[in-house]
């Protein structure tokens, strides 16, 4: 692995080692080439030498050493494009997809029409989406396994069970999506049955109405965002809210929801937006129009 030095740069002293290393590489003598390139770096840590050693380490399977050198190169204000792309590929290989994307985005910031970078960043985003989808599917499967548990699996009296059956509450998920007030409004649902149900839920860390808020609602938004990524352009989904035209009132309302992208905004419902203080139909129509303009729409509760 290369070692940093505080000695003054001496390109003339480094050049013979670089030339000899190039010959060793051509002859397939990689270990000898590494030794010469390290000697060259002791005299001059030029981008050319760093790049040559980084590529060599990459070919030898020394990913950590290669990444260290590419990162050193890429700290400069205008790093070589190939260094950024090679570093992105290494990051992708070790699963550091966010870092890989940042490298490629930096290439595109410097050279917006760079064909390879545009192609690679789409590939990285596709892998990110697949990983995201897999995690989301696992979370959804676990959540659904719990929510789909039949009410008959819980210890409830025949009276409470029959009351739930009459109002077509058959699973735990159904039960969590009703409030105590709604149950009280049903005929034959008395306080004794409701207290029994609440006690059963409390013993499991749950409560009536929980499926309408908090973590459960967040999981629904997560599932919707996952679906959007399979039907809409990722550039649209990840487009910052700050990049679209909105009035100050509408923008402030969105800030209260801590929504950062168009995709996150599309995961919200009309009810959530209308629940924001001082948010009216004008702002709602404005936001819906912006979403339609980008091929999206607010989530609809099923």
Read off the pLDDT of residues 119-171 as tens digits, 9 standing for 90 and up: 666 666 565 555 444 444 555 555 666 677 888 888 888 888 888 887 778 88
| Tokens linked to 277 | 């203080």
Instruction: Decide which of 96, 127, 158 is a domain's last residue.
Output: 127
| Tokens linked to 251 | 């923008």
Residue 205 and residue 233 share a domain: no
Residue 123 and residue 36 share a domain: yes
Residue 255 and residue 277 share a domain: yes
Residue 121 and residue 44 share a domain: yes
Instruction: Decide which of 212, 242, 260 is a domain's last residue.
Output: 212
Q: Is residue 301 part of a domain?
A: no
Domain of 279, in residue numbers: 221-293
Per-residue pLDDT reduced to its tens digit, 254-274: 877 778 888 888 888 776 677
Helix (H, G, I), strand (E, B) or coil at 98: helix
Residue 235 and residue 178 share a domain: no
Cβ atoms 244, 262 nearer than 8 A: yes
Residue 117 and residue 16 share a domain: yes
Residue 99 and residue 34 share a domain: yes
What is the predicted pLDDT for the residue at 124? Answer: 62
- Long-range contacts formed by 84-87: CB under 8 A, 24+ apart: 84/117, 85/116, 85/117, 85/120, 86/54, 86/55, 86/58
| Tokens linked to 22 | 């190039």
Helix (H, G, I), strand (E, B) or coil at 240: strand
Residue 122 and residue 15 share a domain: yes
What is the predicted pLDDT for the residue at 29? Answer: 92
> How far apart, in whole angstroms, are the C-alpha atoms of residue 244 and residue 10?
52
Least confident of 19-23, 94-98, 208-212, 292-296: 208-212
Burial of 36 (0-12, 13-18, 19+ CB in 10 A): buried
Q: Is residue 257 part of a domain?
A: yes
Q: Is residue 2 part of a domain?
A: no
Q: Percentage of the chain surpassing pLDDT 90? A: 15
What is the predicted pLDDT for the residue at 52? Answer: 92
Is residue 38 pLDDT above 60, yes or no?
yes
C-alpha distances in angstroms, 42 versus 31, 61, 135, 237, 278? 17, 23, 46, 47, 65
Q: For residue 272, give the nearest of 286, 296, 290, 253 by alpha carbon.
A: 253
Is residue 57 pLDDT above 50, yes or no?
yes
Residue 19 and residue 116 share a domain: yes
Query: pTM for this one?
Result: 0.40
Helix axes 47-59, 63-74, angle to 10 degrees: 160
Residue 241 and residue 205 share a domain: no
Q: Is residue 142 part of a domain?
A: no
The tokens 């049955």 sit on which residue? 193
| Tokens linked to 72 | 């050193």
Q: Is residue 134 part of a domain?
A: no
Q: Is residue 286 part of a domain?
A: yes
Average pLDDT over residues 42-69: 90
Residue 231 and residue 177 share a domain: no
Number of separate domains in the chain: 3
Q: Is residue 138 part of a domain?
A: no
Is residue 118 pLDDT above 70, yes or no?
no
Beta bridge partners of 233: none
* CATH code, domain carrying 94: 1.25.40.10
Q: Where are the beta strands (DSSP E) in 14-164?
A: none
Instruction: Decide which of 212, 235, 258 is a domain's last residue.
Output: 212
Is residue 70 pLDDT above 80, yes or no?
yes
Q: Is residue 139 part of a domain?
A: no
* CATH code, domain carrying 268: 1.10.150.20
Say how many CA atoms lie within 13 Å of 59 toward its Cβ: 13
Q: Percentage of the chain surpassing pLDDT 70? A: 79
């Amino acid at each position: 692995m290369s070692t940093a030095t505080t000695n003054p740069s001496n390109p003339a002293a480094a050049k013979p080692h670089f030339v000899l290393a190039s010959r060793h590489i051509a002859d397939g003598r990689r270990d000898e080439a590494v030794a010469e390139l390290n000697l060259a770096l002791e005299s001059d840590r030029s981008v050319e030498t760093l790049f040559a050693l980084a590529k060599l380490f990459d070919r030898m399977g020394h990913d950590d050493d290669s990444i260290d050198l590419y990162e050193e190169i890429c700290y400069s204000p205008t790093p070589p494009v190939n260094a950024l792309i090679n570093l992105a590929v290494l990051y992708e290989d070790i699963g550091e997809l966010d870092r890989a994307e940042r490298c490629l985005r930096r290439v595109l910031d410097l050279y917006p029409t760079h064909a390879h970078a545009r192609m690679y960043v789409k590939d990285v985003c596709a892998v990110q989406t697949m990983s995201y989808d897999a995690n989301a599917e696992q979370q959804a499967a676990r959540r659904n396994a719990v929510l789909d548990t039949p009410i008959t699996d819980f210890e409830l009296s025949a009276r409470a069970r029959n009351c739930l059956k009459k109002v077509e509450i058959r699973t735990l998920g159904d039960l969590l999506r009703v409030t105590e007030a709604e149950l009280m409004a049903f005929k034959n649902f008395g306080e004794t049955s409701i207290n029994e149900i609440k006690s059963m839920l409390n013993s499991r860390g749950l409560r009536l109405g929980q499926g309408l808020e908090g973590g459960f609602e967040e999981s629904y938004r997560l599932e919707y965002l996952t679906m959007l990524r399979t039907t809409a352009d990722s550039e649209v989904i990840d487009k910052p809210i700050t990049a679209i035209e909105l009035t100050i009132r509408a923008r402030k309302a969105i800030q209260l929801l801590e929504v950062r992208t168009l995709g996150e905004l599309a995961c919200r419902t009309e009810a959530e937006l209308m629940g924001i203080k001082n948010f009216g139909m004008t702002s709602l129509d404005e936001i819906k129009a912006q979403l339609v303009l980008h091929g999206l729409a607010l989530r609809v509760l099923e």
